[in-house]
Homo-oligomer: A and B are copies of this chain.
């Protein structure tokens, strides 16, 4: 079985539309390239109980859970408390994290700032060369900051641990709308059950009206489904295949 994953975006600023999240799409694309099946994503407020509820659910269902946000030093950063509650753990001071925070601040940090070093029992700091604050792992939950630049750097540093069997895909660009292709797609989808077939109408695109995507971990099935689709589609409808 391929690995499965969930993403949890944490932050009132995302739900209120004040900040546009960029981390979901980055992680989703990267996980796909790594061959990991992303099953679910959620965006939740900065509330301990709500974070705990979603973490618990995702951690049970998926191999990997990735969180973004809520790990800074301010009062609204409650991700670690939420993760601790999800697993019935206490948070305890992590000495290594305290040292890193003190070095970062450049002065003796206040008690409030040092709450950043309170991690769920058993949390591991994933060592990455030359990185001030490494990603934190609690059971199967990988904890990332919400700042996109930092999240990307940290994810890139550890992503090879998630790599699995790759997906193969083929894209068909069509010049008619979905009314004309629904039957062909349903027929191919019914016959090739290990090929995932998606159909995406695009507005305002000159070259094509619908993009059809065939994707599978089984390259032979993908080839068979592609040939069948080309045979079933109305003539002249395919603009391009890639």
Contacts and interface: CB of A to CB of B under 8 A. Distances in A.
Interface of A: 11-21, 24-25, 28-32, 38-45, 50, 72-76, 104-105, 107, 109-110, 112-113, 147-150, 178-179, 181-183, 185-186, 189-190, 196-204, 213, 215
A13 B198 contact: yes
Given A45-B39, A112-B183, A74 B17 contact: no
A15 B41 contact: yes
Contacts of A149: 203-204
Nearest to A198: B13
Contact of A28 (B17, B190, B197, B203): B17
A19 to B, nearest CB: 6
| Identical chains bound together, number | 2
Binding site secondary structure of chain A? mixed
A15 B28 contact: yes
Contact of A182 (B11, B12, B43, B74): B74
A14 B31 CA distance: 12
A74 B32 CA distance: 23
A38 B13 contact: no
Most buried by B among A14, A41, A104: A41
A178 B24 CA distance: 24
Given A41-B42, A75-B189, A147-B202, 18 more contacts: A11-B198, A13-B200, A15-B41, A16-B38, A16-B215, A17-B25, A17-B30, A40-B45, A42-B42, A74-B185, A74-B199, A75-B182, A75-B190, A76-B199, A107-B179, A113-B179, A149-B203, A150-B203
Given A16-B28, A17-B28, A43-B41, A105 B75 contact: no
Contacts of A198: 11-13, 18, 76
A45 B38 CA distance: 9
A108 to B, nearest CB: 11
16 contacts: A12-B196, A13-B213, A16-B28, A17-B32, A18-B200, A42-B43, A72-B178, A72-B199, A74-B178, A74-B185, A75-B197, A107-B179, A109-B179, A112-B182, A112-B186, A150-B203
